[in-house]
Structure 1
Amino acid sequence: MCRLTFFVVVLIPIIFGFCPPGNYEYQTNCYFFQNNPTGFSTAELNCVSIGGHLASIHDGFTNSLLTQQSLSFFNASTDFWIGLDNLQTMGNNWYWTDGGTFDFFDWSNGMPENLQTQNCVAISMIDGRWSNENCFLSKPYVCAINSAATTPPPSAYPCSGGFLYYEPTNSCYGVYTHQEDQTWSNSESYCESLKGHLTSVHNYAEFRLIAAFASYGKYAPWCGLFSNDGGRTWQWSDKSSADYLPWQPGYPSGSGPCVALAHSGLINADCNQEQPMICKIQL
């Protein structure tokens, strides 16, 4: 009998109407300068867990302000992550993780470059210019959270056992790994035992949240997508609409009728492969 290990994502409710000490308030945002270097996806997940996203920048003043403030927080670094990447399009377009409009940029000379391997953006603390970097590099980062946030009622955080609550879908998400990973059907059965299913995904924002989970493990975790007709059509195990299918380039392939969710998109595989899983509980 395999033992399940749950990666706990700690939710820290934001309980303030202004920025707490040690952070910086500008316009409608609190900026949390996180001096614990990590990869881009984990940084974004950490920001989501405290109610925000990696910082987006829409004007030169904000860009300069964050750069100057970073000098007080990141004294052992030369740059830091912001919330811009092209992982969804693999080089064609840039997107902010908070869904904001890409209406401002301040690239260093010759940037962006190597778009197939350097898909996430960092700011130089020397001059405030941007460069695209390998997303797996560990850097400090800045989270942005709306400073008008108020204390939520207890029901606003209804997930137990370390699951992450995501308000837009009113769902709880958790990623599991094992001493012995599970087949797709065993993973689905386990999620059902928690009154959920292997995760479905229905828009870019939800994909980004779940893709951040996927970066924890060595292998892409199972999600709830599968095919009963050789890949002609696809459906989610929770019976929700297959209205958004962000396939990784080159997929779906002839590899199999069950689907895992990698950091860069969906990949289909043999259902008997043993992999981690991501469960989603719809409230």
Structure 2
Amino acid sequence: MSDFWIGLTNLMPSRNWSWVDGTLLDFNDWASGEPKNLSSCATMSPIDGYWRSDDCFKSKPFICEIKPSLTTIKTTTTKTTTTTKITTTKAVTKYPIYENCTKPFTYFEPSHSCFGVGNFTGPMDWSSGEVYCEQYGAHLASIHSYDELYFLGSMVNIGHTALWVGAFSNDNGKTWAWSDRSVWDYNPFYNGYPKLQISACGRVWSAGIVDEVCTDVSQIICKKSL
């Protein structure tokens, strides 16, 4: 899986490592021995999450951040009759925007979960991937929303490789479950999938999962729900 550019450089006028958007560098996640003296731009690894410096002129994938904008809407109401207004408030769970997931996991706020792939040496079959995740107190990732599917798809796009997730079927594809035993409440399959009609496992690509033979080898993605 390829590393990707982040907005950190020492090419700013101060010659210190700084974020290009001007925000304060109040967090340090350099790998051991980094940054190197002759490299002026920073990358992040999707494998271990650490930063590494590199030649700014190399071609790599990159990740962008868009700051949310606030829009104020002014409403003017003219009262013509006596009315009674009933307001119904729906409870919405608010999660922290940051959670200190232990390495090699990254916090994903929309589902209050930690995702990570660890420091394994190569691809593995589905069962081995599940055992590997369990060593971290996790499971192969379950997917319960478009937000999670989109997030995992972005990791696929960065690494240019599909990832085993926790989907599996033991009845020739008739029913599917997650290895973490969470409820199957969202369908993450590509259109036309599953289609093997055998007991199979799920692998995520950029915009959905497909059913694959579980003994095939692939990179993996683990998930810990908080």
- 1:180-259 pair list within 5 angstroms: 180-254=122-196, 257-259=200-202
Counterpart CA distance in 2 for 1:175 and 1:142 is 22
Counterpart CA distance in 2 for 1:241 and 1:9 is 36
* Corresponding position: 1:175 with 2:153: no
**Aligned partner of residue 182 in structure 1, secondary structure:** coil
Shift of residue 140 of structure 1?
8.4
**Aligned partner of residue 239 in structure 1, secondary structure:** coil
* Corresponding position: 1:265 with 2:188: no
The alpha-carbon distance between structure 1 residues 6 and 236, as it changes in their structure 2 partners (threshold 3 A), is farther
C-alpha offsets along residues 228-276 of structure 1, whole Å, 9 cap, x if unaligned? Answer: 1111000001111111122113311116510111112011100000100
**Aligned partner of residue 215 in structure 1, secondary structure:** helix
* 2:28 aligned partner: none
- More relative contact order in 1 or in 2 (CA 8 Å, sep 6+)? 1
For structure 1, the residue ranges without an aligned partner over 5 or more in a row are: 13-19, 25-35, 37-41, 46-136, 148-153
Residues paired across the two proteins, number: 156
- 1:51-70 pair list within 5 angstroms: none
- 1:69-218 pair list within 5 angstroms: 141=64, 143-145=66-68, 156-176=98-118, 178-218=120-160
* 1:280 aligned partner: 223
Is the CA contact (8 Å cut-off) linking 1:7 and 1:176 kept in structure 2? no
C-alpha offsets along residues 168-200 of structure 1, whole Å, 9 cap, x if unaligned? Answer: 322100135754311100000110110010000
Counterpart CA distance in 1 for 2:136 and 2:113 is 13
**Aligned partner of residue 280 in structure 1, secondary structure:** strand
Is the CA contact (8 Å cut-off) linking 1:8 and 1:161 kept in structure 2? no
Bigger mean CA deviation after superposition, 164-173 or 235-244: 164-173
Q: Percent identity?
A: 32
The alpha-carbon distance between structure 1 residues 175 and 198, as it changes in their structure 2 partners (threshold 3 A), is same
The alpha-carbon distance between structure 1 residues 256 and 171, as it changes in their structure 2 partners (threshold 3 A), is same
Counterpart CA distance in 1 for 2:174 and 2:5 is 36
Structure 1-normalised TM-score? Answer: 0.47
For structure 2, the residue ranges without an aligned partner over 5 or more in a row are: 9-18, 24-40, 47-59, 71-95
The root-mean-square deviation of aligned C-alpha atoms, in Å, is 3.8
Is the CA contact (8 Å cut-off) linking 1:183 and 1:273 kept in structure 2? yes
Q: Between Structure 1 and Structure 2, which shows a larger proportion of strand residues?
A: 1
- 1:20-59 pair list within 5 angstroms: 22=21
C-alpha offsets along residues 197-237 of structure 1, whole Å, 9 cap, x if unaligned? Answer: 00001111111112111223343110000011111000001
Counterpart CA distance in 2 for 1:141 and 1:279 is 23
Is the CA contact (8 Å cut-off) linking 1:222 and 1:277 kept in structure 2? yes
